[in-house]
Amino acid sequence: MAEIADAVLVRRASNKDATDTRTHGGAPVPLASIAPSPWHELADRATEPNGYYLPEWELAVNAFAPGHTGAAALAVWNEARLIGLLPVVSLWRACRIPLSAFVSAHPYGTLCTPLLDRDFADDAVRQLMQQARQAGAHALILRDMSLDGVAMQTFVGALERDGLRPRLLHSSLRACLDATRDADGLLHDALGAKKLKELRRQRHRLAEQGAVHFDVARTPDDVASAIEIFLKLEASGWKGARGTALLQNEGDARFIRRAAVALAMTGQCEIVTLRTGGTPIAAGIVLRHQDRAFFFKLGIDERFAKFSPGVQLTLDLTRHLCADPTIASADSTASPDHPMINPIWRGRFAIGNVLIPLRPNDPVVSLIHAALVSRQSVLDAARRAVRFIRARQR
């Protein structure tokens, strides 16, 4: 298919034409200049999985997704081995704050944990911070970080050695799945017998419209077809009504088509679909990196809303992931108060935004911190107002 061929050509061109990022004197380089081959090798050795910083995903975001293009990268090398990578943008671009700092580039998914080589993690963090200093930054702002993960612990250790400490800007708990458990036992503990009985009743009623099938698209050809189903389902629902569905923006649609097919080539993207008869009623995008899955987005046909198609798909996805010995956990990548996923995936992990100071006793860091705290307060108030208005409109 054209999209598959296009992805292959881009990968070949990137490997051939990529700039040697080790010759830029420590300054951030264009993200698109990082060759995919060493990036892949780093991802395989990373201290923590992050499906949204895989090269096929992040380079597609960087090339096409409006508001996410043209990112730079702090990249650390040990001779020919890439040992650390953090896509970044300026604090002005990220937050419209006119102070000198780098912010982890948002990869469309809600996780920005940098890739650190497990064998050189301490050295990678030290050099990432040094590169930022040399570029004139006063701080790094790590958005959507796994707060209890190895990467964050490594940054904390590096700061302690310099007599510094991180500043937590915002934190929350996010739903995750312990995929090492038996799925039926996990779902029973999460939902209880009464709720599961109601969901089975809904599924039986759904089957009256046609046999219910849960399908997993894995090959590039199948993923290329299934992504179109997902896009149409997402655009048919409330996201389409608000104008935020991926299909409604040409750049967003190009990014997800490119990324999904390219990742399918390495077995790191699946599209899961629930059908009744021949009609798709729910579909989701799932990324894979190391032993973790990432539930990116879900689209449903709201004509079938009374049968809870999103929940039904998530139940099947839970069984699918728990039955896979290569997957130990799944990140919902959902908002902390997500009404659908939270009751099903009862595991929680801390996610947050962290300010990393780069010099001791730097007054500019206090200014950056105060500006970010003030901005977060305004955003929180705006979100509460939106939720209130929407609740009144129901």
pLDDT tens-digit profile of 20-60? 444 344 679 999 999 999 999 999 999 999 999 999 999 99
pLDDT at 14 over 60: no
Collect all residues with Cβ–Cβ distance below 8 Å to 52 and sequence separation of at least 6: 58, 107, 108, 109, 110, 111, 112, 287, 294, 333
Q: What is the mean pLDDT of residues 386-394?
A: 62
The whole-number pLDDT of residue 8 equals 33
- 284: its two tokens: 């989701």
The model's pTM: 0.91
143, 83, 147, 90: which is closest to 115 by C-alpha? Answer: 83
Alpha helices in 171-323 (DSSP H): 183-207, 220-236, 238-242, 250-264, 309-322
Q: What is the overall mean pLDDT for the chain?
A: 92
Strands 102-104 and 81-90: antiparallel
Backbone phi, psi, residue 46, to 5°: -65, 145
Give the C-alpha separation, 353 to 293, whole Å. Answer: 22
DSSP state of 106: P
pLDDT tens-digit profile of 113-164? 999 999 999 999 999 999 999 999 999 999 999 999 999 999 999 999 999 9
Q: What is the mean pLDDT of residues 228-249?
A: 95
- 383: its two tokens: 């979100």
Residue 274 CB coordination number (10 Å)? 28
**What domains, with CATH codes, occur in the chain?**
2-173+350-393 (3.40.630.30), 180-327 (3.40.630.30)
Q: What is the mean pLDDT of residues 12-16?
A: 34
